[in-house]
Structure 1
Amino acid sequence: MIYLILSVLSSMAIFVLFKLFSKFKINTLQAIVVNYVTAFTCGLFFYEGIIRSEIINADWFAVAVTLGFLFIAIFNVMALTAQKNGLSVVSVASKMSVIIPVLFGIYVYKESAGIIKIIGIVLALIAVYLTSIKQKDDTVLTRAIYLPLILFIGSGIIDTSVNHFAPKNNIQLFLAVIFGIAGVIGFIIIAYKSLRLNQHFKFKSIPFGIALGIVNYCSMYFLLKALRVDGFESSSIFTINNVAIVALSTLIGLLLFKEHISKTNWIGIVLAMAAIILISF
């Protein structure tokens, strides 16, 4: 359970950093790319083995490269969704995607699906939706509806694939390849925007990107470690991790950033706690 707690806390730090991006007017794409480079470096630093050219023949290598492309693609879809549909839609679509790895665990891994667990999962999905809705956000579901759908499916595929294909003994290297590929593509995008659109790199993005990269790597690493603890099912881990992040992030928004929490959000937080208890026991 300690790995799951560390993953949730790392994800909380990601939430705080993104809030600071807005406050200090940090270029999000540039910080994200620095984040990928930092996370890639963390993966190499903590890998205890010797990196050999044979890794390109490993069963997980092609998947890791594909996920690297998917990471940066979904980030751009997320940005477009925020512009076209609003921040609430982004939050709901990305967080509700947890149902994909949950169903995958139940049907493919034959994990338990008792009535209490099912009720907990349903409550968790309702909690995510209620907690993510912000009254002041201009949510327009009918405009560019394909974007939140792509975000929902893409986020679910990422979570499912990372869990299913990550090697048991080479988690650090697996994550390093994913983040490394995403970083390379991100640099290409930044170079294009710099040359063609005259968008210059802002060096204040670097420290924020480094901080984001460290907690982003920790979030993924500890989640994978939690998923590999004997006695815990992936469907339960994903649900608890997701709903805890949403609920606690909302509370952090209230305490640190004085954000308004509606009655609907409070109901979502209460349901989130109930869902965690049901799924845990």
Structure 2
Amino acid sequence: MIYLFLSILASSIIFLVFKLFNRFQVNTFQAIVVNYIIACASGFTAYSQPVNWTGLATYSWLTGTVFLGVLFIVIFNLMAITTQRSGLSVVSVATKMSMVIPIAFGLIYYRENAATLKIVGILAALIAVYLVSVKKQDSSKPTKKNLVFPILVFLGSGIIDTSIKFLEDSFVAEKDVPLFSAMIFATAFILGVAVLIFQLIKGSQKIQLKNILGGIALGVPNYFSIYFLVRALRHPSLESSTVFTLNNVGIVMVATLIGILFFKEKLSAKNWIGIGFAILSIILIATIQ
């Protein structure tokens, strides 16, 4: 459970950093690119053995990390488009509701426990993330024309989580978890920096120190959010459907608390009802573990 708690904490710190980006007008794309190299470096630093660069191609999970790195960049850009066209709440809901994909994968592919209490807990969690994610000040809704973008964010986010579970379970050795995480971010960085260079040549981007500092602040918790999630998924007493449910609900709860304490955010009646459902889901799912 400690790894699950640490993953939730790291993911919640990411939320805090993104909120500070708005306050200090940090260029999110530049910060994201820098964040990937910092997260990659964190993984290589945490790896207990010397990295065999020439032998990297022999790892069976390498192709999977390239696939995930590409998805990281693609989904980030889709999230940006969705935010611009449909609002922040739509992005938040699409991202969090995507947990149904890895949960369903765990229940069907790994034949995980589908006890009644667990299913009720998962449904309560889905209701919770929806109600807590919908903010009163963001009343924009996706039009039929723009509906494809939140759908792609939903599918992409779910595929990322499902792929991480499948790869770590089928191909990644215990000692290689830091290296596995680092290579995902390395691919994302290479693609991200290629796009950034293109934008710099066009003149649509300008490097600023605050964007670099923002990326450094984001990179470390971003790495550990993946690292601890993989560790939690590898725990013998925790099923992936349980991990993804509690992880998403936990992030929503802690992020909401951060918003109240540090940014004086006001919660609507829907948000409070969502928190109630979140607490209920945690109790129900924890009961059967």
TM over 0.5: yes
Cα contact 2:85–2:142 (8 A) shared by 1: no
The aligned runs of 1:90-105 (5 Å cut-off) are 90-105=91-106
The CA deviation at 1:248 is 1.8
Question: Which of 266, 283, 286 is matched with 1:280 structurally?
Answer: 286
Distance across 2 between alignment mates of 1:253 and 1:94: 18
In structure 1, the residue matched to 2:157 is 155
* Bigger shift: residues 65-74 or 140-149: 140-149
The CA deviation at 1:204 is 1.1
State the superposition RMSD in angstroms.
1.0
Q: Deviations over 1:140-170 (max 9, x none)?
A: 2224100000000000000010111021321
Structure 1 runs (4+) deviating above 3 angstroms are: none
In structure 2, the residue matched to 1:17 is 17
Q: May I ask how many residue pairs the two structures share in their alignment?
A: 281
Distance across 2 between alignment mates of 1:42 and 1:67: 18
In structure 2, the residue matched to 1:41 is 41
Q: In structure 1, the residue corresponding to 2:146 is in which secondary structure?
A: coil
Distance across 2 between alignment mates of 1:212 and 1:199: 20
In structure 2, the residue matched to 1:203 is 209
Report the identity percentage.
Answer: 49
**Structure 1 residue identity aligned to 2:212:** I
Distance across 1 between alignment mates of 2:173 and 2:230: 9
Cα contact 1:247–1:268 (8 A) shared by 2: no
Question: Which of 252, 264, 279 is matched with 2:258 structurally?
Answer: 252
The aligned runs of 1:70-109 (5 Å cut-off) are 70-109=71-110
Q: Deviations over 1:31-57 (max 9, x none)?
A: 111110000001111111232222212
Q: Show structure 2 runs of 5+ residues with no match.
A: none
* Bigger shift: residues 168-177 or 97-106: 168-177
* Bigger shift: residues 188-197 or 135-144: 135-144
The aligned runs of 1:221-232 (5 Å cut-off) are 221-232=227-238
Distance across 2 between alignment mates of 1:211 and 1:9: 15
In structure 2, the residue matched to 1:134 is 135
Distance across 2 between alignment mates of 1:139 and 1:116: 35
Distance across 2 between alignment mates of 1:78 and 1:191: 21
Distance across 1 between alignment mates of 2:221 and 2:70: 20
The CA deviation at 1:273 is 0.8
Q: In structure 2, the residue corresponding to 1:138 is in which secondary structure?
A: coil
**Structure 2 residue identity aligned to 1:86:** G
Distance across 1 between alignment mates of 2:233 and 2:225: 12
Question: Which of 259, 272, 275 is matched with 1:269 structurally?
Answer: 275
The CA deviation at 1:198 is 3.6
2:169 paired with 1:164: no
Q: In structure 2, the residue corresponding to 1:212 is in which secondary structure?
A: helix
Distance across 1 between alignment mates of 2:160 and 2:240: 14
The CA deviation at 1:138 is 3.2
Question: Which of 181, 186, 190 is matched with 2:187 structurally?
Answer: 181
* Bigger shift: residues 144-153 or 164-173: 164-173
Distance across 2 between alignment mates of 1:178 and 1:145: 29
